[in-house]
């Protein structure tokens, strides 16, 4: 039931945009997004609780299509600080109370 993230890795230049996708085979209550820098703990970015919900802050936003069981994370005008591994965590309706994380997407932003 692990969600599938794509792409596995992406390299950008500063100022470019990126989209990271997360797809589940199970019905979802919510999708969480986290970023982890090398050697550090994952850090919460945002939660999407309702189908169709879109959230964002600064130049990072996300959407959740409940019917398709998919979420996408949008990074616009990328900065060097955006580099890291991005994980989606899915709250599956069948299980509740816990997240199942994807394998991660490695994002590297170059100057």
Partner 1 sequence: NAGVTQTPKFRVLKTGQSMTLLCAQDMNHEYMYWYRQDPGMGLRLIHYSVGEGTTAKGEVPDGYNVSRLKKQNFLLGLESAAPSQTSVYFCASSFLGNQPQHFGDGTRLSIL
Provide, rounded to whole angstroms, the least separation between the CB of residue 64 and partner 1: 13
Task: Output 18 or 88, the one with its CB closest to partner 1.
Answer: 88
CB neighbour list of residue 51: distance below 8 Å, 6 or more residues apart: 64, 65, 66, 67
Q: What are the residues binding partner 1 (CB under 8 A)?
A: 2, 29-30, 32, 34, 40-44, 47, 49, 87, 89, 91, 96-104
Say if CB 76 and CB 17 are below 8 A apart. yes
Task: Name which of 16 and 29 has its Cβ closer to partner 1.
Answer: 29
Least distance to partner 1, CB of residue 8, Å: 9
Cα torsion angle, 48, 50, 51, 57, sign: negative
Q: Are 40 and 81 in contact (CB under 8 A)?
A: no
Compare residues 13 and 38 and give the one whose CB is closer to partner 1.
Answer: 38
Q: Shortest gap between Cβ of 79 and partner 1 (angstroms)? A: 22
Give whichever of 11 and 49 is closer to partner 1, judged by the CB atom.
49
Integer Cα distance of 111 and 98 in angstroms: 38
For residue 54 the two structure tokens come to 């879109």
């Amino acid at each position: 039931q692990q969600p599938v993230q794509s792409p596995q890795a992406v390299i950008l230049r500063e100022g470019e945009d990126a989209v990271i996708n997360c797809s589940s085979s199970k019905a979802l209550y919510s999708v969480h997004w986290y970023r982890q820098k090398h050697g550090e703990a994952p850090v919460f970015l945002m939660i999407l609780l309702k189908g169709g919900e879109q959230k964002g802050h600064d130049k990072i936003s996300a959407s959740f299509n409940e019917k398709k069981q998919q979420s996408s994370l949008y990074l616009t005008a990328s900065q060097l600080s955006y580099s890291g591994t991005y994980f989606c965590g899915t709250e599956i309706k069948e299980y509740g109370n816990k997240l199942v994380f994807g394998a991660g997407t490695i994002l590297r932003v170059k100057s």
